[in-house]
């Protein structure tokens, strides 16, 4: 059996498509204010849930609440990006060695 680069490329493309589909189900979390605001996102950068502790909601400091939400969302999206990169590196194996940390495939 000889090496068939076209077949290998097709297999990698299929695996990439499966991995992209799995990103929808991989959940990550971000939090701020010692966990007073928690955000759950998936690896497609979709926000799935936001939990806010009652004491923060009852606070008169609206600006603080806004800052906590922004910080938690940003952390969740950062964690989603890191996890996505980990999954892509697993998929690419040794080929991923020279990829920059912010590498992604088009459309991801």
Which tens digit of pLDDT belongs to each residue from 46-72? 999 999 999 998 889 999 999 999 999
- Is residue 103, in this structure, part of any structural domain at all? no
pLDDT higher for 105 or 6?
Answer: 6
- Is residue 84, in this structure, part of any structural domain at all? yes
**Residue range of the domain that includes 57:** 16-95
Which tens digit of pLDDT belongs to each residue from 79-96? 999 999 898 888 877 665
| Phi-psi label, residue 71: left if phi above 0, alpha if psi -120 to 50, beta otherwise | alpha
Could you tell me the CATH number of the domain that includes residue 72? 3.30.1310.10
- Is residue 39, in this structure, part of any structural domain at all? yes
Alpha-carbon distances, residue 82 vs 20, 49, 88 (angstroms): 14, 19, 10
- What distance in Å separates the CA atoms of residue 74 and residue 78, rounded to the nearest whole number? 6
Helix axes of 5-23 and 62-92: crossing angle, nearest 10 degrees: 160
């Amino acid at each position: 059996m000889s090496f068939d680069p076209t077949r290998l490329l097709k297999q990698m493309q299929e695996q990439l498509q499966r991995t992209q589909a799995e990103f929808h189900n991989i959940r990550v979390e971000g939090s701020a204010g010692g966990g007073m605001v928690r955000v759950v996102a998936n690896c497609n950068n979709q926000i799935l849930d936001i939990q806010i502790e009652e004491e923060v909601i009852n606070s008169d400091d609206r600006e603080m609440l806004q800052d906590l939400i922004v910080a938690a969302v940003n952390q969740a999206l950062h964690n989603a990006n890191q996890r996505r990169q980990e999954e892509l590196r697993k998929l690419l194996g040794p080929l991923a060695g020279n990829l920059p940390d912010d590498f992604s495939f088009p459309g991801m």
